[in-house]
Amino acid sequence: MGGVGHGHGHGHGHGHAAGRAEDRRRLKVVLAITATVLVVELVGAWLTGSLALLADAGHMATDAAAVVLALAASYVASRGGGPRSTFGLHRAEILAALVNALVLLGVCVYLAYAGVARLLDGGDSHLEAGPMIGFAAVGLVANLVAVVVLRGSTSGSLNMRGATNEVLADTLGSVLALAAGVVAWTTGFDRADPIASLLIAVLIAPRSWVLLRDSVAVLLELAPAGLDLDDVRHHLSHVSGVVDVHDLHAWTITSGIASLSAHVTVTDEALAARGVGPVLDDLGACLAEHFGVRHATFQVEPVSHGAHEDLGEVH
């Protein structure tokens, strides 16, 4: 069929699964914290009339949704692939990150609308600043605990990154709500509250955009960030016996799992002298050592075979 295929890195999947199980334990703790604080802040927003508390509660709701999504995606991704899902269901994590980002952007739009409307409203809305400070303080402490729990994850999953970033930014949101309460309580400047809610929206927006961009890049099969394909081609070309590297593709299956495929032309003499196995070993070692890529498939072709290869239209 025109060459020999070879894969590397079967052991890597086991480490990924163990990392996921640990991530799930962390996510469950954070979900319990987030759901509790969400209810507390919603009650607080209703009792105090605070838009900043409502903004923080809205953000906590997206935190909770993000954690539920992350948990569901992690469970789905842990299941083995079926006859058609040959890579397993790793992409479920990326889809969760995408949904998470879109929901957050929607929350930003609402907060911007509500905050501006409150600022433009002539009649001063009554704000219970004292209790607002108490509710915001509870939110802040809970978020700090959640950050510590999630920070311990070492899997590097885009899904976990999304959940961690959510809680980190929400910690800042709680700080802003607390600050707004203090300002309103000490100076009577109630508009500190909608101003804080707008700042919380500004906090959420760039993070949502980055998460959206990263997940779309994976779904579009773009080469992993930081992997220079010209550099990869250069290194592979210097493996003993290799005369050409073409049809080089790289993509990300899910965060932390990069894949690469290439057609490699090798001299007939090198193949006769060493055999295909050692050449494949050298190519795999080159990628693992220089680029950290362990999921690679090579099609090795003798120089004499070049005239018979149909390269197709995509190069």
End-of-domain residue from the set 154, 186, 219: 219
Phi first, then psi: what are they for 218, rounded to 5°? Answer: -70, -45
Q: Count structural domains, the chain.
A: 2
End-of-domain residue from the set 170, 193, 219: 219
State the number of CA atoms in the 13 A half-sphere of 285 facing the CB: 9
State the CATH number of the domain containing residue 134.
1.20.1510.10
End-of-domain residue from the set 193, 219, 245: 219
Q: Is residue 314 part of a domain?
A: no
Segment holding 88, helix H or strand E: none
Asked if 177 and 194 touch (Cβ cutoff 8 Å), the reply is: no
Does residue 239 sit in the same domain as residue 149? no
Q: Is residue 23 part of a domain?
A: yes
Give the Cα separation of 315 and 311 in Å (integer).
Answer: 7
Q: Is residue 2 part of a domain?
A: no
Does residue 177 sit in the same domain as residue 243? no
Segment holding 104, helix H or strand E: helix 91-120
Q: Is residue 172 part of a domain?
A: yes
- Secondary structure (3-state) at 60: helix
Average pLDDT, the chain: 78
Asked if 202 and 120 touch (Cβ cutoff 8 Å), the reply is: no
Does residue 166 sit in the same domain as residue 239? no
- Secondary structure (3-state) at 299: strand
Q: Is residue 296 part of a domain?
A: yes
Residue type for 214, please? Answer: D
Q: Is residue 236 part of a domain?
A: yes
Does residue 146 sit in the same domain as residue 276? no
Does residue 251 sit in the same domain as residue 192? no
Q: How confident is the model at residue 182, as a pLDDT?
A: 93
Percent of the chain with pLDDT over 70: 80
Does residue 125 sit in the same domain as residue 264? no
- Secondary structure (3-state) at 246: strand
Q: Is residue 116 part of a domain?
A: yes
Token digits for 40? 């507390």
User: Residue 297 pairs with which residues in a beta bridge?
Assistant: 261
Give the Cα separation of 124 and 61 in Å (integer).
Answer: 27
The tens digit of pLDDT for each residue in 10-66 reads 444 445 666 667 778 888 888 898 888 889 888 988 888 888 888 888 778 777 777
Does residue 118 sit in the same domain as residue 260? no
The tens digit of pLDDT for each residue in 54-87 reads 888 877 877 777 777 777 766 766 666 666 655 6
Give the Cα separation of 235 and 230 in Å (integer).
Answer: 9
Number of H helices, E strands in the chain: 9, 3
Q: Tokens 């999953």 label which residue?
A: 157
Q: Is residue 3 part of a domain?
A: no
Does residue 156 sit in the same domain as residue 235? no
State the CATH number of the domain containing residue 274.
3.30.300.30
Containing structural domain, residue 138? 12-219
Does residue 214 sit in the same domain as residue 236? no
The tens digit of pLDDT for each residue in 254-290 reads 666 778 889 999 988 888 888 888 888 889 888 888 8
